[in-house]
Amino acid sequence: MPHTINIQRRRLLKFAGLTAAMATVYPFLSYAQGMIGMGNQAASDFEPDVEIELTQEVVDIPIFRGPETRVWKVFGKVLKGPETAIVNHAESYIAPTIQLQKGQRVRIILKNNLPAQSILHWHGMHVPSKMDGNPMYAINQGQTFVYEFKVLNRAGFYWYHAHTHSVTAKQVYSGLAGLFIVSDEEERALDLPRGEYDVALAIQDRTFDDQNQLYYNSHMMQRMQGFLGNQIVVNGQPDYVLPVASRAYRLRLLNGSNSRIYKLAWDDGTPMTVIGVDGGLLERPERRAYVMLAPGERREIWVDFSGKKVGSEMTLRSLSFEASMHGGMMGGMRGGMMGGMRGGMMGGRGMMMSGSDLPLGSDYAVLKVKVSRQAQAQDKLPEYLTTIKPLRLQDAANADTPRNILLSMRHMSALLNGRSYEMDDIRADEIIPVNTLQVIAFDNGFSGGMGMGMGMGGMMAMPHPMHIHGEQFQVLKREIDPRFKPAYESVEAGFVDSGWKDTVLVMPGEKVTILKPFNDYKGVFMYHCHNLEHEDMGMMRDFLVK
Ligand code: C2O
Ligand code: CU
C-alpha cells in the first residue's frame, strides 16, 4: 500500500524521481519555486487569430439593494479577432465568458491588479504545460502573464479559474472564475438551440453578511468539509430566474462551487435530458431522473418548454442525498457503519460544521425558469449527436499496472497516496511517458483502506471530485464497497460517465477507474481534488509528462 511505505523508502523514491525526471527536464530542483512572479512575455513567432486581454481588479458591484459588494473581478477585452470572443458580465462578479473555435490560435494577456499573487487555469483545456496556469506561474500585483496556445479541444463547455497556491478556494470564491466555451464545425452542423436559446449557467453558493459582503470562513472544520454557502447564486446572482420562450433550450450547467455537490432535477418530474458533459457532447442524449454535478463538472441539458403557458414556472432543484460521514467516522464503523453514516449526515450535522443553513445533501431550489413569451419553433432533439471513440484498456501503456491514487482524509490533512502538495516534488510514480494512454484508479477507501483507517487513524469518508489537467479522459468503471452501498444508492443513478470527462466524482467507499491520454505536451500537469478547500489543504499533486 502506498501509504504504508516507510519514510526511507519514500525518500528513495523521491530521489529516484527527481534525478530521473527533474535533472533532465529542468536544470534546477527548485524550478517551480523560481518561476513564481516571473510572468511570461508574448512569443515573437506566435501569430494569434484571437487576442484577448483579461484584467483582474478589486471592485464593488451592486448585487443587493444597499451596500455594494466587494469582489475580485476579471474584465475582458478583445484586442484582435471577433468581438464575440469575450462576453463581459457587468452586473455580476462572474468573469467574462470566453468563446473560441476549435483550431484558433489564441493569445490571452492576463494582467493582475489584485493585491495578491494569482494565476488563471483553463479547466478542461488541452494546452502546453506552461500555458496551463500551474500555481508555479503565479504573478504578483502589477505583473503580466501572456498565454498562447492553439485550441485543440472539441466543442464543449469548459471554464477557467484562479489556481494560486493554497488560496485557490478564496480567490475563486471572491470572483476569479468564468466560462470558456469552444465550438466547432461538427457541433454547428447539428440542429441544437443556439444564440439566445443556448444559455450557460454557473452554479455556486455564497454567504453574504449583513453588509452584503462575501463571507468566507476557512477554519479547519470548514476546510475539512469544504466551504458551503447559505445561498445559491447563478451567474453571480441570488434567486436566479431565467426568462424563457416556449421552445427548446440548451442549458449548460457548471458547478463552480468550492465544495457543494448538486443532485439536479426538474421539480415537475421532467427528466434531465443530458446532451453533454465536461468535454462536450455525448454520442446520444441520455435521460436521468436526476443528475449529479460535483465541483468542476459540467452538464449540458436539453429542455423543451413548448406547450407551456406564458407565466408558468419550472424549478431546477438539488434533491436530498447522503453525502459524507462526519463526526462519528471512527467508532461506529464496525457493525454500525450504516447507522453512523445516516445519522452523521442527515441531521443538522453539516449545518453545524459549515455554519450553513443549506447543508450538503439537503433539498433546495437552485434556479427558476419562467416562461415569459410564446415561440413558434419545431424543436426536435437530435437522436445522434457525435461519435465518441471509446478508449480501450488494452491500449493503455500500463494496462496491467493501473496507477492507483489513494484518496485519504484525516484530521487536518487531505492526501493523495499519502502525500500533500509541494512544488518541485515529483515522485517516480508520477512520471508519465508522453503520448501514452494511462489507466488511473482513484480509490476512495474502496480497497480496505477506509475500514482500517476508520478504526485507527480517524479517516473521514468524503466525496472527492477528482480532476486531472490536460486532455479529457473516459470513465472505465466504478466499484463500490458494499458497506457504502446504502448511501451510494442515493446518488448513483445520477452519474453520466459515457462522454469525455475532466473531473469525476468519487464517492466514499468507491473506486473509479479512468483511461486518460497524455498526448502532445510534455511538462507538469496537475491532478487534484476539486473540492477547493481540499485542494488548498494539499489534496493535489503534479504529474510530470516526459
Ligand atoms: Cu479546475 Cu486544477 O482545476
Ligand atoms: Cu476532496
Ligand nearest to the Cα of 224, by number? 2
DSSP string, 130-150: GGS--GGG-B-TT-EEEEEEE
pLDDT reading at 460 higher than 90 = no
Grid cell for residue 235: 451567474
Grid cell for residue 474: 473516459
Q: 6 pLDDT band (50/70/90 cuts)?
A: very low
* Distance between CA atoms of residues 328 and 163, nearest Å: 33
What is the atom index within ligand 1 of the atom nearest the CA of 526? 2
Q: Give residue-wise pLDDT tens across range 265-277.
A: 999 999 999 999 9
Grid cell for residue 515: 483511461
How much is the pLDDT for 13? 43
pLDDT reading at 15 higher than 70 = no
Q: What is the dihedral of CA 272, 278, 280, 283, to 10 degrees?
A: -60
Q: Shortest CA distance to 158 belongs to which of 501, 391, 499, 526?
A: 501
Cβ–Cβ under 8 Å, residues 82 and 114: no
What is the atom index within ligand 1 of the atom nearest the CA of 535? 2
**Residue 80 CB neighbour total at 10 angstroms:** 13
* Distance between CA atoms of residues 247 and 310, nearest Å: 11
* Distance between CA atoms of residues 275 and 251, nearest Å: 10
What is the atom index within ligand 1 of the atom nearest the CA of 159? 1
Which residue's alpha carbon is at the smallest distance from atom 3 of ligand 1? 123
How much is the pLDDT for 505? 98
How much distance in Å is there from the Cα of 144 to the middle of ligand 2? 31
How much is the pLDDT for 281? 98
pTM of the model: 0.90
Which residue's alpha carbon is at the smallest distance from atom 1 of ligand 1? 123
Q: Give residue-wise pLDDT tens across range 195-230.
A: 999 999 999 999 999 999 999 987 887 788 899 999
Ligand nearest to the Cα of 133, by number? 1
How much distance in Å is there from the Cα of 406 to the middle of ligand 2? 11
Q: Is 264 helix (H, G, I), strand (E, B) or coil?
A: strand
Grid cell for residue 160: 477557467
Stretch 372-389: mean pLDDT: 93
How much is the pLDDT for 29? 55
What is the atom index within ligand 1 of the atom nearest the CA of 540? 2
Strand 464-468 to 503-506 pairing: antiparallel
How much distance in Å is there from the Cα of 233 to the middle of ligand 2? 22
How much distance in Å is there from the Cα of 457 to the middle of ligand 2? 18
Q: Is 208 helix (H, G, I), strand (E, B) or coil?
A: strand
How much is the pLDDT for 16? 43
Compute the C-alpha angle 21/423/462, nearest 5°. Answer: 110
* Distance between CA atoms of residues 218 and 320, nearest Å: 25
Q: Where are the alpha helices (DSSP H) in 424-495?
A: 449-456, 485-488
Compute the C-alpha angle 499/132/502, nearest 5°. Answer: 15
How much distance in Å is there from the Cα of 512 to the middle of ligand 2? 14
Q: What is the dihedral of CA 131, 132, 137, 138, to 10 degrees?
A: 120
Q: What spatial distance separates the first Cα and last Cα of the chain, rounded to whole Å? A: 26
How much distance in Å is there from the Cα of 259 to the middle of ligand 2? 8
Stretch 240-245: mean pLDDT: 98
* Distance between CA atoms of residues 532 and 542, nearest Å: 16
* Distance between CA atoms of residues 413 and 411, nearest Å: 6
Pocket of ligand 1 (CB under 6 A): 121, 123, 161, 163, 296, 467, 469, 526, 528, 530
Q: Give residue-wise pLDDT tens across range 27-76.
A: 445 788 888 889 999 988 999 999 999 999 999 999 999 999 999 999 99
* Distance between CA atoms of residues 195 and 204, nearest Å: 24
DSSP string, 75-103: EEEEEES-GGGEE--TTSSSPPEEEEETT
Q: Give residue-wise pLDDT tens across range 400-438.
A: 999 999 999 987 889 999 999 999 999 999 999 999 999
Stretch 18-23: mean pLDDT: 43
Please give the residue that has the higher pLDDT: either 364 or 28. 364
3-class SS string, 303-372: EECCCCCCCCEEEEEECCCCCCCCCCCCHHHCCCHHHHHHHHHHCCHHHHHHCCCCCCCCCEEEEEEEEE
Cβ–Cβ under 8 Å, residues 111 and 55: yes
